[in-house]
């Protein structure tokens, strides 16, 4: 299966951002992509650097403008697209939601981000209610997609549960970057940790991992913070954590051919699922063992 990842920087407005994204999707389809992955909250800025109630005006319903626009593109090109949007579920109830669009333009399924961070410049708890759809892969014409979102990528439990539910691959739409004030060594440690933990999910579960991140600098609109330099570095690994393709720190369209048979071969020699001690894992449901 040919997979494309669209790594982009912020454009001046929603229309410019969406048009640039659709142009990249068309480019990917022209090169044979069957599955196109978009970054977290790809229709606009990463607005969570500040807490501002006016930002809720940008939220949208599902179905809604984004699913209609990108659904039409999926139908026209005959491809599956993984989108990401700020979902307005009800007044005062919002989610960070990934929506998977089937090649006929229909909504194959959605995933609401489960782990919600609250850190300097990443004030997501102000905006997003934790997801309530669980860790369920989304069945599509190209396979069962284990879609998770950004902060979820640090949690082995999320990856494992998707794998146990039959996901053929893990997909992480992402918005992560550096505080420009951090020293270069600290920035490198953060990037290395981000890559390493996701490669580990591929190894531990014997399935490919696709992580598509934003890129470029976005200023703090309040002026209180230093902004975020999104580090890009989108990548795809195989089921042994091997890099298949990696991006740099600029806008980029990544394409990769995934051998979906390889997961079966790897799991036969590394049968981690077989040897799990499910009888001894009860403490995992505790916050901490005092």
Domain ranges of the chain: 2-274
* Residue 14: band (very low, low, confident or very high) from pLDDT cuts 50, 70, 90: very high
Residue-wise pLDDT for 215-261, tens only, equals 999 999 999 999 999 999 999 999 999 999 999 999 999 999 999 99
- Residue 35 is predicted with a pLDDT of 98
- Residue 186 is predicted with a pLDDT of 98
Architecture of domain 2-274: 4-Layer Sandwich (3.60)
Sign of CA dihedral 62, 63, 64, 67: positive
Query: pLDDT averaged over the chain?
Result: 97
- Residue 192 is predicted with a pLDDT of 98
Residue-wise pLDDT for 77-111, tens only, equals 999 999 999 999 999 999 999 999 999 999 999 99
> For residue 202, what is the enclosing H or E element?
helix 184-205
- Residue 207 is predicted with a pLDDT of 98
Instruction: Give mean pLDDT, residues 41-58.
Output: 97
Instruction: Give mean pLDDT, residues 3-16.
Output: 97
Which tokens sit at 193? 């940790």
Q: In what order do the strands lie in the sheet with 177-178?
A: 177-178, 228-231, 215-218
Q: How far apart are CA 125 and CA 88, in angstroms?
A: 15
Instruction: Give mean pLDDT, residues 144-163.
Output: 98
Q: How far apart are CA 267 and CA 251, in angstroms?
A: 34
HSE of 202, CA atoms in CB hemisphere, 13 A: 24
- Residue 131 is predicted with a pLDDT of 98
Residue-wise pLDDT for 106-141, tens only, equals 999 999 999 999 999 999 999 999 999 999 999 999
pTM (two decimals): 0.97
- Residue 247 is predicted with a pLDDT of 98
- Residue 194 is predicted with a pLDDT of 98
- Residue 83 is predicted with a pLDDT of 98
- Residue 46 is predicted with a pLDDT of 98
Residue-wise pLDDT for 180-189, tens only, equals 999 999 999 9
Residues 6+ apart with CB under 8 A from 211: 153, 171, 172, 174, 198, 234, 235, 236
- Residue 146 is predicted with a pLDDT of 98
Instruction: Give mean pLDDT, residues 141-146.
Output: 98
Strands 209-213 and 169-174: what pairing?
parallel
Strands 138-140 and 143-147: what pairing?
antiparallel
Which positions are annotated as active-site residues?
Answer: 40, 113, 150
């Amino acid at each position: 299966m040919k997979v494309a990842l669209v790594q982009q920087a912020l454009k001046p407005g929603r229309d410019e951002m969406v048009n640039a994204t659709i142009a990249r999707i068309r480019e990917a389809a022209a090169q044979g992509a069957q599955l196109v992955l978009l970054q977290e909250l790809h229709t606009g800025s990463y607005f969570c650097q500040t807490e501002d109630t006016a930002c809720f005006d940008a939220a949208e319903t599902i179905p809604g403008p984004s699913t209609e626009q990108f659904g039409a593109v999926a139908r026209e090109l005959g491809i599956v697209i993984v989108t990401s949007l700020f979902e307005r579920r009800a007044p005062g109830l919002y989610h960070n939601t990934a929506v998977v669009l089937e090649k006929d333009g229909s909504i194959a399924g959605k995933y609401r981000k489960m782990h919600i961070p609250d850190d300097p410049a990443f004030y997501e708890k102000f905006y997003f209610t934790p997801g309530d759809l669980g860790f369920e892969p989304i069945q599509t014409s190209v396979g069962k997609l284990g879609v998770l979102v950004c902060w979820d990528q640090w949690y082995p439990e999320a990856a494992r549960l998707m794998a146990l539910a039959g996901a053929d691959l893990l997909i992480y739409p992402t918005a992560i970057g550096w505080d420009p004030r951090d020293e270069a060594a600290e920035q490198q440690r953060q990037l290395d940790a981000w890559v390493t933990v996701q490669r580990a999910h591929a190894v531990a579960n014997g399935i490919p991992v696709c992580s598509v991140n934003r890129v470029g600098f976005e200023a703090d609109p309040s002026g209180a913070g230093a902004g975020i330099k999104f580090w890009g570095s989108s990548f795809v690994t195989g089921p042994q954590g091997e890099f298949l393709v990696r991006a740099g720190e600029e806008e980029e369209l990544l394409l990769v051919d995934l051998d979906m048979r390889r997961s079966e071969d790897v799991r036969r020699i590394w049968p981690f699922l077989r040897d799990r001690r499910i009888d001894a894992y009860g403490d995992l449901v505790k916050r901490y063992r005092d």
